[in-house]
Amino acid sequence: MNIKQHTIKKAVQLSGVGLHTGVPATMTFLPAKPNHGIKFQRVDIEGQPTVDADVDNVVDLSRGTTIEQSGARIHTVEHTLAAIVGLQIDNVLIQLDGPEPPIMDGSSIKFVEALQEAGLEEQDAFRNYYEIDESIIHRESDKDIELAAMPLNDYRLTVMVDYNSSVLGSQHASITHISQFASEIASCRTFCFLHELEMLHKQNLIQGGTLNNAIVIVDRVVADNELDYLAKLFNQPKVEIRKEGILNNVELRYRNEPARHKLLDLVGDLALVGRPIKAQILAARPGHAANIAFAKKIKRQIEAKKKDSRIPDYNPKLPSLLDINQIGQMLPHRYPFRLVDKIFYLDDTSVAGIKNVTINEPFFQGHFPGNPVMPGVLQIEAMAQTGGILVLSTVPDPENYWAYLIAIESCRFKKMVLPGDTVVFKCTLTHPIRRGIAKMQGQAFVGDNLVCEAVLSASIVRKDEK
């Protein structure tokens, strides 16, 4: 699985009708910045509101997953989301000029192909995985539905379906790595049983459904007059049923295509958790309602275990965004004043780095002999150097600029910093940078403890203008 976040290199567009609304729409995938996430935007509505791909925005589960936010509703998002997750894309804006993504052929393959055509681009931010550390179970005993997420340092999914049908029987599908999605799952089409068609039409669903974008499974004897009715329903001159029980002799792409499509739906629905997941997912007879209930259960666990949101999530197992040599190329400081060892987070408005404090630091030789405590002024200096990386990252040629600390306000020291501590520094812009002046809220943490904080102002100046 990818370590860093990804977006697409360029915009790409598809058009078609929505499966349930039957409304034509053009959908445009656009690149997005790190930590943007997956968002939809209704460009046909006044104000062009956006809708976060978030399970708490789900408002309807009638044969698909519908989300809504700020007065904008997006129907049937699961096939689109499955393609994005299957390609391990983290940041994308999906613009729609209608209420529903095009159904295309009823699978995710057209979305996958379009995104692959756009190309993927690695970004300078780590993926914010949620690793399942204890089993999460969702059961609906009356429907014999069960979904489970179990600890695994990967993302694997297995789905079992059983429709008590002589045509389908019991089926299962699985992928052992999310990279298999594009080749093994993405082309599997949505399906329904013949006996569901009239009910769905009465509910004003599948208005855009045709025999080219859905598999209709016939699990009973059908009279000739009903075939005529179905031909009219699907605007076809004639429909037939082959002995396998698939309407109009549609060929399955896989013997277990229905089970594979259920896995596709599960991938798309679980995208609404809002973070990439590391887990083994097992699902027996899943459907959208159960998938969303399961996704909410996972999100609630994430929220329950989320520590103080101020504290950056530092994982020492991951590589640096900027290592000590790259930091040295941006900042002029040298021994003994290089006080930041690693930058592990950086976006347009915030930065986070670490300082490993050891007894070998030169300042311990003369500061509080016999009682080694990191000087507060050096904690602020390390914080300022971290903020300097943020300020310098806003220009295309940081090697040609100096970043000067020009003000310190509201400085507080909360706890002592001792040898053996790893200090995590975080600086966040409080206002946009104007006329080369940046104002930042700086914080330093050891574990879950805030050890110092200050409001820092810095000036960025071209070296040839000094």
228-270 pLDDT, tens digit per residue, is 766 666 666 776 776 567 765 578 899 899 999 999 999 999 9
Residues 393, 435, single domain; the answer is yes
Residues 283, 426, single domain; the answer is no
Cis peptide before 336 (omega within 30 of 0): yes
* Beta strands 155-162; 277-284: pairing state: parallel
pLDDT confidence band for 351 (50 / 70 / 90): very high
Q: Rounded to whole angstroms, how far apart are CA atoms 394 and 78?
A: 36
- Hey, what amino acid is at 379? Q
Question: Does 314 reside within a domain?
Answer: no
Question: Does 145 reside within a domain?
Answer: yes
Which position among 6, 20, 75, 288 bears the catalytic label?
Answer: 288
Is residue 209 over pLDDT 60?
no
pLDDT (mean) for 434-441: 94
Residues 234, 298, single domain; the answer is no
pLDDT for the residue numbered 115: 98
pLDDT for the residue numbered 228: 72
Which stretches does DSSP call E strand in 226-374?
277-284, 342-346, 350-356
SS3 297: helix
Question: Does 245 reside within a domain?
Answer: yes
Residues 411, 298, single domain; the answer is no
Q: Is residue 79 within a helix (H) or strand (E), and if so which, with residue range?
A: helix 78-86
Question: Does 136 reside within a domain?
Answer: yes
SS3 109: helix
Instruction: State the average pLDDT for the chain.
Output: 90
pLDDT (mean) for 172-179: 96
- Taking a C-beta distance cutoff of 8 angstroms, is the pair 279, 149 a contact? yes
pLDDT (mean) for 182-201: 82
Is residue 321 over pLDDT 80?
yes
Which position among 36, 172, 333, 367 bears the catalytic label?
Answer: 367
What CATH number has the domain bearing residue 269? Answer: 3.30.230.20
Residues 164, 300, single domain; the answer is yes
Residues 94, 207, single domain; the answer is no
Is residue 304 over pLDDT 80?
yes
Question: Does 428 reside within a domain?
Answer: yes
| Each residue's pLDDT tens digit, 142-166 | 999 999 999 999 999 999 998 776 6
Residues 203, 73, single domain; the answer is no
Residues 213, 342, single domain; the answer is no
Residues 78, 158, single domain; the answer is yes
Residues 94, 38, single domain; the answer is yes
Residues 268, 352, single domain; the answer is no
pLDDT for the residue numbered 244: 60
pLDDT (mean) for 448-454: 94
What CATH number has the domain bearing residue 347? Answer: 3.10.129.10
Query: What percent of the chain is predicted at pLDDT more than 90?
Result: 73
pLDDT for the residue numbered 48: 97
Which stretches does DSSP call E strand in 363-446?
401-413, 422-429, 437-446
Question: Does 116 reside within a domain?
Answer: yes
pTM for this entry: 0.81
pLDDT confidence band for 308 (50 / 70 / 90): low
Question: Does 434 reside within a domain?
Answer: yes
| Sequence-separated (6 or more) residues with CB below 8 Å from residue 399 | 329, 330
- Torsion, CA 248, CA 252, CA 255, CA 260, rounded to 10: -120
Residues 9, 72, single domain; the answer is yes
What is the residue whose two structure tokens read 């016939």? 218
pLDDT confidence band for 348 (50 / 70 / 90): confident
- The number of distinct structural domains making up the chain is 3
Mark whether 172 is an active-site residue.
Answer: no
Question: Does 316 reside within a domain?
Answer: no
Specify whether the backbone of 107 is left (phi greater than 0), alpha (psi in -120 to 50) or beta: beta
Q: Which residue, 237, 252, 267, sits at the end of a domain?
A: 252
Mark whether 333 is an active-site residue.
Answer: no
pLDDT confidence band for 193 (50 / 70 / 90): confident
As to burial, measured by CB atoms within 10 angstroms (0-12 exposed, 13-18 middle, 19+ buried), residue 359 is exposed
pLDDT confidence band for 36 (50 / 70 / 90): very high
Domain of residue 202, residue span: 191-252
pLDDT confidence band for 90 (50 / 70 / 90): very high
- Taking a C-beta distance cutoff of 8 angstroms, is the pair 26, 13 a contact? yes
- Taking a C-beta distance cutoff of 8 angstroms, is the pair 450, 444 a contact? yes
Is residue 135 over pLDDT 80?
yes
pLDDT for the residue numbered 28: 98
pLDDT for the residue numbered 49: 97
